[in-house]
Amino acid sequence: MFKKLAIPLAIVVLSLLVVALPTCAPKKPPAPTGEVLLTVKGNIEVSNVGDEYQFDLDMLKKEGKDLQTNDPWLESEFTYTGLPLSQLVKMVKPGDGTTTLKFVAPDDYTVEVKIADCKGTDILLAYAADGADLLPDLGGPLKLVFAESLSDIYPPESWGWMIVKVTVQ
């Protein structure tokens, strides 16, 4: 009796697995619909376009937080709004052995930030200052900014203007 039921039962179980497994697989985050402002690549476990995680402004704004800090280059205090690096790390899920985020500007200027330092909202990829979009003369459209409490670890040279790419390494 068991032998007669084994094959039909196996077929039913396999059919259910074929139907159920694709719905159990993690869904890929949505791809950007607007102009891509930031591309994250490297050792990441989550991507939304090929092997990269791309962001447009609307995607960044969904995760936006404020950071009031003194800008060492503009010698003024601003309330920057942007994507906290802590949230960026959660979204792209760096792979095993990664320790660093390398930020790149169009002129190939680079800044490295330790993933271990990406906590809370102390480091942002800012897209706005005092409620206005960041224009290129203020470092936009994306500017890497730090809380004053991190100035010993990340001096003014660490502030990155016009960031377009992040490599997770």
How many structural domains comprise the chain? 1
User: By the 8 A CB rule, do 166 and 39 touch?
Assistant: yes
Does residue 3 lie in a domain region?
no
Does residue 19 lie in a domain region?
no
Residue span of the structural domain in which 35 resides: 28-168
Checking if the pLDDT of 3 tops 80, the result is no
Average pLDDT (127-150) is: 96
The domain that holds 100 is classified in CATH as 3.90.420.10
Does residue 114 lie in a domain region?
yes
For the entire predicted model, the pTM comes to 0.84
Q: For the segment 46-104, what is each residue's pLDDT rounded down to a tens digit? A: 999 999 999 999 999 999 999 999 999 999 999 999 999 999 999 999 999 999 999 99
Instruction: State the pLDDT confidence band at 5, using cuts at 50, 70 and 90.
Output: low
Does residue 23 lie in a domain region?
no
Sheet holding 53-56, edge to edge: 53-56, 36-42, 165-168, 100-104, 110-114
Q: Which residue has the tokens 């280059």?
A: 73
Does residue 150 lie in a domain region?
yes
Does residue 7 lie in a domain region?
no
